[in-house]
Amino acid sequence: TLNTIEATSREAYDLSLRLCRAGVMAGPSSGLAFAGLLRFLKERQGTNFKGLRNADGRVLAVFGCGDTAMPYMEKYSMILDGKDFEPLKFPR
């Protein structure tokens, strides 16, 4: 059975930005897919991921990144807050 998992535009853009900051140039549709995966895993966490573990006992999960952030650059500042764009801090 397929379950519907909903996410907001803000979540999609926020997770897209986080993916970009991690080096994956993913757009908001990719952020939406990531949000869905995270929600699905959180729901299944209560059952200790029953039925999702492989033979080694690990849970492997993937999501598609079918878009890039570039066409949506102007929308990021319209949907996210200024605090979401704080400079990255790297250790010295």
13 pLDDT above the threshold of 80:
yes
1 pLDDT above the threshold of 70:
no
What confidence score (pLDDT) does residue 88 get?
Answer: 79
DSSP string, 24-74: ----HHHHHHHHHHHHHHHHHHTTTTTTTB-TTS-B---------SGGGHH
42-73 pLDDT, tens digit each: 989 999 999 999 999 999 999 999 999 999 99
Spell out the residues 6+ positions from residue 91 whose beta carbon is closer than 8 angstroms to its own.
none
Do 26 and 19 contact (CB within 8 A), yes or no?
A: yes
When pLDDT is cut at 50, 70 and 90, the band that residue 91 belongs to is confident
Mean local confidence (pLDDT), 6-26 = 95
Using the 8-state DSSP alphabet, how is residue 82 labeled? Answer: G
Q: How large is the angle between the packed helices 9-21 and 28-45, nearest 10 degrees?
A: 100
